[in-house]
Structure 1
Amino acid sequence: MTAPLALAPAMADALSRWLEVEAATRDRSNHTVTAYRGDLLAFLAFLGAHHGQPATPKSLGDLRQTDMRAFAAAERARGLGARSLARRQSAVRSFLRWISDREGHDLSAALSTRSPKYTRSLPRPLTPDQARDTLDMVAVQHDTPWVAARDTAVMTLLWGCGLRISEALNLDGADWPFRDSLTITGKGGRQRHVPVLPVARDAVADYLRQCPWRLAPDQPLFRGVRGGRLSPGAVEGTMQKVRASLGLPPTATPHALRHSFATHLLAAGGDLRTIQELLGHASLSTTQVYTGVDDAHLMAVYHSAHPRG
């Protein structure tokens, strides 16, 4: 296998500047910026091998549709799925639009290449009974009482407050005791205030009473068995055992509890716009996907909220 050509200094500088622009002006999360860097490095490595020399900002002006199609074919041959390829091509097009403005290129032909179609899998929430059964099973899943209490507290925050698993596990001792609401920093650095139900506060308090590690402001709220910050993998492992015990489908993941929070709120008469704010979604359409709301309901929310509705 031929080693990839080194990135030209001018291209490395351009890529770095574009990623800075994406992070600063488009509110991209660190995870997204890292993914974009990987997407562009894959594309630029392909161009270097395809043309026999490292790509430069100037040479990108010669890109054609055939280059883009060859890149897509190479990625598919490497086993990249349609969804991942579509995301990768989207990142590449964003970079190319930026570089064409900066360098004065006409890349309309290359940018017109279509991404592969794929079926978006919709999240599947648990029913209220399934969610309650899940929490009950988590409470008896581990032989060590404080670990069982810890996992119950985490799962309760996911279902009761709609937190992402990373948001729950990033809580520190300084966040305790919980007040009526938590200030959560989510994707893209967006902050939101999430009401804390008494049942969630009580679950965390029960865990802390049993936890063998001293609570400190600069230390994790949720600890692993060795005292470090609890990992998402440990929570997912617990959920896997619960699925097996209750006969739940593979879609019953910790993240599904967050989906369930949104769906159950909506079913109880919650407002879609408020649920959007509680989840920390930048777009109402994302909340629509989470909750399975149909277009008619979405338009009803739009018309009720719009000043000219």
Structure 2
Amino acid sequence: MLEDMQLKGLAPGTQRAYLRYVQQLAEFVGKSPDQATDEDFRQFFLALHKVRGLSRSSATVAIAAFKFLFEVTLRRPWPRLDLYRPRQIQTVPVVLSVDEVWHMLSFVHQPSYYACLATIYTCGLRISEGANLQVSWIDSARMQLQIRGGKGLKDRYIPLPPRTLTLLRQQWVTHRNPVWLFPAGARAKQDGAPHRNRAHGGTVSKRHSQLPWQLPERLGRTRSVFVEYSAEDRLILHYLPLVRKR
């Protein structure tokens, strides 16, 4: 199954999620997943609902994993699992205002995390996209930022605010890594590796009790912040005071 997912070009995170659900099914039924019956699947999803309160999005990933296993790897008809998908609940996302974003960033004292989070919010990036930014993706002549391998492995160009470019340059001078804008670890000045995605959410979450408003459970609403305020006031986040006061 792993080789099939690699040949299909599935993202590493998707591969891990699919394998995790297939392994959980095997452990739950005590046999190979290809021998699981309709009743096995029913009991498995029922257990997920009772124990973990399975959300619709998680159920969708689990169903997609089993569909891939049966249709692609085993080349067999797969069980009708759509019945186990919870009803979709329409909720209003928690979108931070510009002042709230600035207030939140004021609690981030590690310069590289601050620069990364500020870039994520001002450019409307996903957490993984911001953490994995590379030096060669910056087009200062056109004031654009190229995002490669985003969600769905799609590339795109987005506007790069001048102050964000200034902040990225100031951050890069501190390590001069030839590849990554936000390298991690002691090997920051060499190729090394970028920040871990979860590190940025954890950086803010450690201080969330000091904030005067409720912090969203995930920082994945960064694109909502960008889209809402850029549509209303022509990239109002461009005026976010990015350069930290010493």
1:216 partner SS = coil
Give me the whole-angstrom Cα distance separating, in 2, the residues matched to 1:234 and 1:167: 13
The answer as to 2:83 corresponding to 1:114 is yes
Answer whether contact 2:119 2:130 (CA < 8 A) is retained.
yes
1:128 aligned partner, one-letter code: V
Match of 1:29 in 2: 11
The answer as to 2:61 corresponding to 1:96 is no
Answer whether contact 1:243 1:252 (CA < 8 A) is retained.
no
- For normalisation by structure 2, the TM-score amounts to 0.72
Give me the whole-angstrom Cα distance separating, in 1, the residues matched to 2:33 and 2:201: 42
Match of 1:165 in 2: 127
CA positional deviation for 1:76: 4.3
Alignment partner of 2:45 out of 72, 84, 88:
72
Give me the whole-angstrom Cα distance separating, in 2, the residues matched to 1:233 and 1:16: 24
Equivalent residue runs for 1:63-212 within 5 Å? 63-64=37-38, 66-76=39-49, 79-83=51-55, 84-98=58-72, 102-103=75-76, 105=77, 110-111=79-80, 114-117=83-86, 119=89, 122-135=92-105, 137-138=106-107, 141-142=108-109, 147-148=110-111, 150-175=112-137, 178-179=140-141, 180-185=143-148, 186-209=150-173, 211=174
Q: Greater helix share, 1 or 2?
A: 1
Give me the whole-angstrom Cα distance separating, in 1, the residues matched to 2:81 and 2:96: 41
Q: Residues 245, 178 of structure 1: CA spacing in aligned structure 2 closer, same or farther, 3 A cutoff?
A: farther
Instruction: Provide the aligned C-alpha RMSD in A.
Output: 3.3
Q: Residues 244, 207 of structure 1: CA spacing in aligned structure 2 closer, same or farther, 3 A cutoff?
A: farther
2:182 aligned partner, one-letter code: F
Listed as ranges, the gaps of 5+ residues in structure 2 are 189-193, 236-246
CA positional deviation for 1:125: 1.2
Structure ID, larger Rg: 1
Give me the whole-angstrom Cα distance separating, in 2, the residues matched to 1:248 and 1:35: 32
CA positional deviation for 1:242: 5.4
- For normalisation by structure 1, the TM-score amounts to 0.60
Aligned length: 225
Q: Residues 225, 40 of structure 1: CA spacing in aligned structure 2 closer, same or farther, 3 A cutoff?
A: closer
Q: Residues 96, 195 of structure 1: CA spacing in aligned structure 2 closer, same or farther, 3 A cutoff?
A: same
1:183 partner SS = strand
2:161 aligned partner, one-letter code: L
Equivalent residue runs for 1:45-60 within 5 Å? 45-47=27-29, 49=30, 54=32, 56=34
Listed as ranges, the gaps of 5+ residues in structure 1 are 1-14, 271-309
